[in-house]
Structure 1
Amino acid sequence: MTDASLLTLPIEVIHHILAYCDTQTILLSIRPVCKHLYSIVNSYDQFELTLDWKSKSKFQWMYRLIPTEGIVKLNILRNEYDGFVDFFLSVCDLRQFTRLRSLTIQHVGEKDLVSFFQLINTHTLTSLSINPYKREISTVLFHITSAIEKFQIRRLCMDKCDHIVTHMSWPVDCTLTRLEIGACHYHEYITVLQRLPQLRTIIMKQCVMNDNDVTTPSTSDTKFCSLLKSLTITDFSLFSQQQLELLISFTPALVHLKLTARERRRFDYVFDGLYWENFIRINLLSLKKFEICFHTETHAVNDLVELITPFRTPFWVEEKRWLIACAFIIWRNEDIWLYTMPISVDIDRDPIRCEISSRDGVCRLTKRCLNQVFDITADETLKILGCFSSGITDKEMRYLSDGLQKNTTITTLSISSKNIGSRGIQHLATALQNNTTLTALHLNSNRIEEEGAQYLGDALKKNTTLTTLELKWNEMGPREAYNLARALRKNATLTTLDLCGNNLKDEVMQHLGDALRKNATLTTLNLQANQIRAAGIQHLANGLRNNKKLATLDLKSNSIGEAGAPYLADILRNNTTLTALYLEYNYIKDDGVQYVASALRHNATLTILSLCENGIKGEGAQYLADALRNNSTLKKLYLYQNRITPDGAKHLADALRINTTLTTFGIGWNLTGIELAQHFAEVIRHNKTLIELDIHYNYLGDEGAAYIADALRYNTKLAVLDVSSNGIRQKGLKQLADALENNTALTAIDLCFNGMEVSDAKYFANTIRNNRMLTEVRLLDEHSWEGHSWELNELHKKDKRLRYEHNRGYRHFVSRD
């Protein structure tokens, strides 16, 4: 057996493959590959030539490469008043398109259309797709009628035009077999059927009917039967069974019926499987293909199983073998859809949904394309699912729960809604007890009450796969948290628990502390913004004394204060696993810092400590400096937004000069002044382990910048430096630039919000152009950008390392993990 390749295939087969490629791909990607393909493309005679904004720049070049007799499709996809027709006619001789079969023109007027029809010199044209200017529809229709007769057109598409039938003068022996139009009235529809005897396919947006059409049909309407084979209505709006039955009564030979309605919200007969079964048996005996897609609101449907059951009779499953599905659409969480599978519909994206098919009645979570054949393996890539809307209630949670119980791919589920009650949480808890793949569950910004928390707690006791649980901003109180704390004692898989913003207070900390004594898996606990005071920290400290697993504890934005600091110290003294502790916004002040610093002297595990916004002044800084002289494990220390004095900065700098473990230090937004720069310049010179230093917003000015610049000349270790928002002007910026010209250690520096002028930026860029260590330089900000955007943009184009900072805000240039 010889090896097969594209080049060994018969030319006819390769031509067939080319029919699935666009012209640009054929000419630019396939034709130049080799002489053989070059020859095959040159002999190809089924080109589709398209002129639009995307192809206009290459259109002339492509046209010259294609033999005009090889062009069978011509598309001019233009915007209104864009001059595309004039451009096309100036480039192409339409008379040479001797094998043209299909013509499509968007936004065309009478004059241009007449020019086209006069220039086309072929009897091969069989398909027209025209979208005329609305103001010229009536005059354009006359010429389209003439073209139908002249060219013997078989396919006509005017799907953007409503109610055009009455304005058309159809030829006596009209050759149309396919017609696509916008909305039409019932009587226009009848006119089409009567005057176009060869018509076999109609696609229309709407067929508008009123009560009189049903109660008093005209005599002429009841005396004929059309031979129409396919009928599609893309915005089906008939609200009564009588209207539909009258519409279909003229087309008993239909083999294909497609009805979709994106905006039709009524829950009525179109959702009734028994109705459709009887309707088809009586009215459409020849029907081979049936397609529907209808939407309604979730409150209209009691149960998806009840909705799909009538479509699971022998008529659907065995006789017709039409597969139907109903689904709760998650990203539009007020929607229930009923549809055949597969089906092609005009939607923005294929929805993630809880779907029940008539094949087996099983609820599945799926993102399978609607036009794809039913295949459960199509959802193997569905890993993450998010539901964020107040529209999700207990009913929707039941659908979601049913889908989760059988799902074997989703690992992360996020649900945020203010309308999920205890019953909804119960549904979710049931799923958690049976699902074996979900590892992360985010239930943030819900309102989980006591009963719901109990259901969730019971599920956690039995679940064996969940490792991350987020319950942020759920307004939980002591009773709700108690149920979760009980579950933690028995749960053996959860490693991350986030209870941020739940107003837990001190009472809950006792239960949580008891749970932490017995829990052997939790490694990360987030308790920020819970109004925890000293008594709560005491309970937590008692629980962590013998805990051998917790590594990260986040206590930001509580009310620990000076009174709770001794208990924080107890945690640091007695716990031997904690590596990261976040204490921002707790106002423990200098007296409280004394306890924490004392414990740090002997702690041998903590590597990250954040004490931002705690009212720390000079004395507190001195306590921390003493700890840094003795501690040998802390790697990252953050002291942003305190009130550290120049003396406090000196103590810290002196400690850092000899400290051999700290790699990241942040003391930004302390407004300390020039002295801070003077002291930390010595740190930059002499410290051999510090990699990241943040001293932004400290009023350093040009004088402070001079100290830093001088130190950078001798720097051999510091890689990241933030000196933004320090009032450094031209003189200081120049000194920093000169210092960086030959610096071989620094890789990133932030100088934003220092009032840098364009001339300063240019000088900086020119000075560091040969420095290959620097990978990021933040020079430009929203103020320097105003009025100079073009110059600064050009500067950035020349050196991509130069960045633009949009927002002063709470930026973190150094790492904060």
Structure 2
Amino acid sequence: MTHCSDSEINEQSDDRAGKLKKNQKKRSTGGKHVSFPPDEQIVSGFAEHRDADRRADSCLTLTEVMEAYQQSCTRHQVQPQAHVLQQLQQGACVGGSVKCLDLKGERLDQRSCEALEVVLKSLHFDFINLQAAQLEENGASSLLDMILYYESTTHLDISDNNSMGTSGWRALAHLIKQSVCLSRLDICSTPIVDYPAMSLSKALLTSRLTVLHLHNAQLSGMPLFTLVGALKINRALQELHLTNNSLNSYQDALQLGDLLRYNSTLKTLELSNNALADAGLEELCDGLRWQTAGLKVLLLRNNHITAHGMVFLASTLPILKVLEVLDLAENVLENEGIQVIRTSLMVNCSLKQLGLSQTNITCEGAVALAEVLAENHHIQRLDLRQNEVKVGGLMALCLALRINHSLAILDLDHVPPEEQDEFLMETQKRLQSEITQCCLTNARRCGLDTSDTLTTEADGAAESMATV
């Protein structure tokens, strides 16, 4: 087995990228064939009749693909991945397309990656999961080049792989820039600093990606500055998820505010579990004022925001035109914060969903929100779970729903805060039942689906409000 120096790896990776670009331009000529040699050499060539080969390979049954994979493993002198064989055996194939290739936690060295070529060549996957696959530099480079060349997936998760090296990140950048198929990419729990940050940002300048998850990627500071610089120009990305990045209320919030000023393509921005605080919310609100046809979903769960930050939101809410979902859960807003935004919520015409779970609201805050519902006929969903909303607040909400015809979902605790008096407990149950019936009536009247629930991110961090 031979080993490449860093300089050799860089030269070989650049050469491979050049061959990839050249061969993609002349697919109609020649008869070369893809070769990923077992002696850790870098890819030596690509099939120039890729499309024709792919159509022929898509006629293979999953059993035939499984047999071809086993033969490939023999050639590369590695044991077949039992999990791969199991998935191929149990999978469902429609026209060469399979739902998922799940390699999470499997150790994929150079030879194991090369042996997967026949699988990636023969099948298209809706999702390829390479999370925590212990990818090394040469293996990552080869595997990502294969995924690009064969356009093997629309969703790739390469999270928690910290040893991809320069060549691996360069190959990932080529994939992001050149793939016409890849629409979602997850790179979570992986430090995106220095070269990875620059490489990713440069690739995003011309990328077709529409969804990008970068949770827990150490993006605070210069990496975020670099990323935002590219996204100001990007006109393809629609969802950006930045949970758990220790984003602060100073330079990070300033960059995110600039992003909202200059990018009108982004539809969803998730910033949950950071430290933007009140000063950061001010910067975001300044950016939101420039959004006339862009951001629809802003998730700010657990960002140390207080009632003071609601002052900035109160001045922005009346002029918002496109923001439909705002999640402020797990921030200490208290009743004071709800009172600050009460009047602004009454006149806002864009918000359809408002998340206020675990924000230290009591009956006083619920009464203020009931006043909002009596005036605002645009909000379709309100989340008040994990708050101390007892009979007084429920009664106000129930009365508001008798004249409100838009609210289809009011999320309350299944086990409400306990009342001391038995009569109050019975009243509590009756009010919750009436609220449920009013919401169902509104949903039927508006033709809305009430089956959606708040979904939790895989890392247990942000709860995203599902579209009603």
Structure 2 residue matching 1:518: 3-state secondary structure: coil
Cα offsets for 1:606-638 (capped at 9, x unmatched): 111110001111221112322211111111111
Q: Describe how 1:112-131 pairs up with structure 2 within 5 A.
A: none
Distance in 2 of aligned mates of 1:440 and 1:714 = 40
Q: What is the match of residue 630 of structure 1? A: 347
Q: What CA RMSD, in Å, does the superposition of the two structures yield over aligned residues?
A: 3.5
AA partner of residue 413 (structure 1): I
Distance in 2 of aligned mates of 1:303 and 1:352 = 27
Distance in 2 of aligned mates of 1:402 and 1:704 = 64
Q: Describe how 1:594-613 pairs up with structure 2 within 5 A.
A: 594-613=311-330
The correspondence for 1:497, drawn from 209, 212, 216, is: 212
Q: What is the match of residue 335 of structure 1? A: 79
The correspondence for 1:351, drawn from 82, 85, 88, is: 85
The correspondence for 1:426, drawn from 134, 141, 146, is: 141
Distance in 1 of aligned mates of 2:333 and 2:401 = 23
Deviation (angstroms), 1:529: 0.8
The correspondence for 2:116, drawn from 372, 378, 400, is: 400
- Asked if 1:583 is matched to 2:317, the reply is no
Q: What is the match of residue 470 of structure 1? A: 186
Distance in 2 of aligned mates of 1:445 and 1:632 = 41
* Higher RCO structure (Cα 8 Å, ≥6 apart): 2
Query: Per the alignment, do residues 592 and 450 of structure 1 end up closer, same or farther by CA in structure 2, a change over 3 Å counting?
Result: farther
AA partner of residue 363 (structure 2): P
Q: Describe how 1:529-540 pairs up with structure 2 within 5 A.
A: 529-534=244-249, 535-540=251-256
Structure 2 residue matching 1:718: 3-state secondary structure: helix
AA partner of residue 129 (structure 2): S
Query: Per the alignment, do residues 713 and 396 of structure 1 end up closer, same or farther by CA in structure 2, a change over 3 Å counting?
Result: closer
The correspondence for 2:101, drawn from 381, 385, 388, is: 385
Task: Give the TM-score normalised by the residue count of structure 1.
Answer: 0.43
Contact 1:685-1:715 within 8 A present in 2 as well: no
Contact 2:379-2:407 within 8 A present in 1 as well: yes
Distance in 1 of aligned mates of 2:353 and 2:426 = 24
Query: Per the alignment, do residues 591 and 382 of structure 1 end up closer, same or farther by CA in structure 2, a change over 3 Å counting?
Result: same
AA partner of residue 160 (structure 2): S
Distance in 2 of aligned mates of 1:328 and 1:469 = 28
Q: What is the match of residue 71 of structure 2? A: 326
Cα offsets for 1:155-188 (capped at 9, x unmatched): xxxxxxxxxxxxxxxxxxxxxxxxxxxxxxxxxx
- Asked if 1:571 is matched to 2:316, the reply is no
AA partner of residue 430 (structure 1): D
- Asked if 1:706 is matched to 2:427, the reply is yes
The correspondence for 2:270, drawn from 554, 572, 575, is: 554
Contact 1:617-1:643 within 8 A present in 2 as well: yes
Structure 1 residue matching 2:303: 3-state secondary structure: coil
Q: What is the match of residue 28 of structure 2? A: none
Q: Describe how 1:680-759 pairs up with structure 2 within 5 A.
A: 680-696=397-413, 698-699=416-417, 701=419, 703=424, 706=427, 709=430, 717-719=438-440
Structure 2 residue matching 1:326: 3-state secondary structure: helix
Contact 1:681-1:707 within 8 A present in 2 as well: no
Distance in 1 of aligned mates of 2:359 and 2:296 = 23
AA partner of residue 409 (structure 1): H
Contact 2:357-2:383 within 8 A present in 1 as well: yes
Distance in 2 of aligned mates of 1:425 and 1:714 = 54
Q: What is the match of residue 446 of structure 1? A: 161
AA partner of residue 706 (structure 1): T
Contact 1:448-1:480 within 8 A present in 2 as well: no
Q: What is the match of residue 651 of structure 1? A: 368
Structure with bigger gyration radius: 1
AA partner of residue 204 (structure 2): L
Q: Percent identity?
A: 23
Structure 2 residue matching 1:581: 3-state secondary structure: strand
Distance in 2 of aligned mates of 1:714 and 1:430 = 55
Q: What is the match of residue 206 of structure 1? A: none
Distance in 2 of aligned mates of 1:349 and 1:462 = 30
Cα offsets for 1:338-390 (capped at 9, x unmatched): xxxxxxxxxx999269xxxxxxxxxxxxx379xxxxxxx99824342111224
Structure 1 residue matching 2:125: 3-state secondary structure: coil
Q: What is the match of residue 617 of structure 1? A: 334
Contact 2:398-2:435 within 8 A present in 1 as well: no
Structure 1 residue matching 2:240: 3-state secondary structure: strand
Query: Per the alignment, do residues 714 and 517 of structure 1 end up closer, same or farther by CA in structure 2, a change over 3 Å counting?
Result: closer
Query: Per the alignment, do residues 715 and 381 of structure 1 end up closer, same or farther by CA in structure 2, a change over 3 Å counting?
Result: closer
Deviation (angstroms), 1:650: 1.8
AA partner of residue 563 (structure 1): A
Give the 4+ runs in structure 1 shifted more than 3 A.
301-304, 710-717, 744-747, 814-817
Contact 1:527-1:554 within 8 A present in 2 as well: yes
Q: What is the match of residue 665 of structure 1? A: 382
Structure 2 residue matching 1:382: 3-state secondary structure: strand
Contact 1:646-1:673 within 8 A present in 2 as well: yes
Distance in 2 of aligned mates of 1:418 and 1:349 = 13
AA partner of residue 149 (structure 2): N
Query: Per the alignment, do residues 533 and 596 of structure 1 end up closer, same or farther by CA in structure 2, a change over 3 Å counting?
Result: same
The runs of 5 or more residues in structure 1 that have no matched partner are 1-300, 305-322, 338-347, 354-366, 370-376, 720-743, 748-774, 777-808
Deviation (angstroms), 1:412: 2.3
Distance in 2 of aligned mates of 1:485 and 1:435 = 24
Distance in 1 of aligned mates of 2:226 and 2:169 = 14
- Asked if 1:545 is matched to 2:261, the reply is yes
AA partner of residue 664 (structure 1): R
Deviation (angstroms), 1:639: 0.5
Query: Per the alignment, do residues 408 and 711 of structure 1 end up closer, same or farther by CA in structure 2, a change over 3 Å counting?
Result: closer
Distance in 1 of aligned mates of 2:125 and 2:442 = 44
AA partner of residue 288 (structure 2): L
Cα offsets for 1:55-92 (capped at 9, x unmatched): xxxxxxxxxxxxxxxxxxxxxxxxxxxxxxxxxxxxxx
Contact 1:643-1:672 within 8 A present in 2 as well: no
Deviation (angstroms), 1:434: 1.5
Query: Per the alignment, do residues 397 and 586 of structure 1 end up closer, same or farther by CA in structure 2, a change over 3 Å counting?
Result: same
The correspondence for 1:459, drawn from 150, 175, 186, is: 175
State the number of aligned residues. 379
Distance in 1 of aligned mates of 2:136 and 2:229 = 28
Q: What is the match of residue 61 of structure 2? A: none
Distance in 1 of aligned mates of 2:179 and 2:443 = 49
Structure 1 residue matching 2:124: 3-state secondary structure: coil
Contact 1:509-1:537 within 8 A present in 2 as well: no
Distance in 1 of aligned mates of 2:171 and 2:418 = 56
Query: Per the alignment, do residues 658 and 448 of structure 1 end up closer, same or farther by CA in structure 2, a change over 3 Å counting?
Result: farther
Cα offsets for 1:1-31 (capped at 9, x unmatched): xxxxxxxxxxxxxxxxxxxxxxxxxxxxxxx
Task: Give the TM-score normalised by the residue count of structure 2.
Answer: 0.72
Query: Per the alignment, do residues 711 and 454 of structure 1 end up closer, same or farther by CA in structure 2, a change over 3 Å counting?
Result: closer
Distance in 1 of aligned mates of 2:262 and 2:180 = 24
